Structure 1
């Protein structure tokens, strides 16, 4: 990620993920949820069936840079993603999630954009898990469900209330 963001910034003098947010906001088909501070999408490169990417709308590098309402907006976005997941199969949906923040090497990183990845291990039902094995661990991941199919199911679940 860091290499891609650096290369894009060096070439375009702009942030890669800011550009990506604009593309997804215009396209709208992969948006799972959004508020004034954050947007959550199923990235077109998703490997996990219900993988989502949560991005800050404002260009910032880390949690301490959040201002005012953005803290609440992040909490609301996180709660909404988890609630949507729980509705997909009608169970508490397991997931791994991590924030990606500015590298901590004490250098400036204008290319870096704060975001979080969610990787749920469920595949097609509450009882079928995805496991990375063999060639997936050593080569390329297999996409069992396309990002569009997983995203549509996730987005649909968000409107079932």
Structure 2
């Protein structure tokens, strides 16, 4: 999950610098997923924001802009677990905790494995 350090409700609430920062964060997260098993890592990504009406975000009390990643590769590049239905936002069936998965991703380099020398 990607959460802002400043509360936003929509991409429309972000200035150009914040949008560039978000793009950089998404690039870094995607590189770490690819680096996990050194393969092009498939995933579904969901962007949660306030609805947009007439070019402006409609104010939604308590809503915070955020992004979810739903990766199907859990154990290796060849063992896939595609989450569907209730699993995507409810109780997913995993063999590791979200904290363990986050620790694994944090330990990986942000530079894509294909661009590293050696």
| TM-score range normalised by the length of the shorter chain | 0.7 to 0.9
Mapped pair 1:102 → 2:50: yes
- SS of the residue corresponding to residue 107 of structure 2 reads helix
Per the normalisation by structure 2, the TM-score is: 0.76
Give the gaps of 5 or more residues in structure 1: 1-52
By relative contact order (CA 8 Å, sep 6+), the higher-ranking structure is: 2
Post-superposition offset of 1:143: 2.5
Q: Which has the higher helix share?
A: 1
Mapped pair 1:72 → 2:20: yes
Taking the aligned partners of 1:136 and 1:58, their CA distance within structure 2 comes to 29
Taking the aligned partners of 1:132 and 1:116, their CA distance within structure 2 comes to 16
Give the gaps of 5 or more residues in structure 2: none
Residue deviations 1:93-138 (CA, integer Å, cap 9, x gap)? 11100210113588531311111100110020000001448x969x
Taking the aligned partners of 1:71 and 1:107, their CA distance within structure 2 comes to 19
Per the normalisation by structure 1, the TM-score is: 0.57
Pairs aligned (count): 107
Cα RMSD (Å): 2.7
Q: Which has the higher strand share?
A: 1
What is the correspondence of 1:11-160 to structure 2 with a 5 Å cutoff? 53-104=1-52, 108-132=59-83, 140-158=91-109
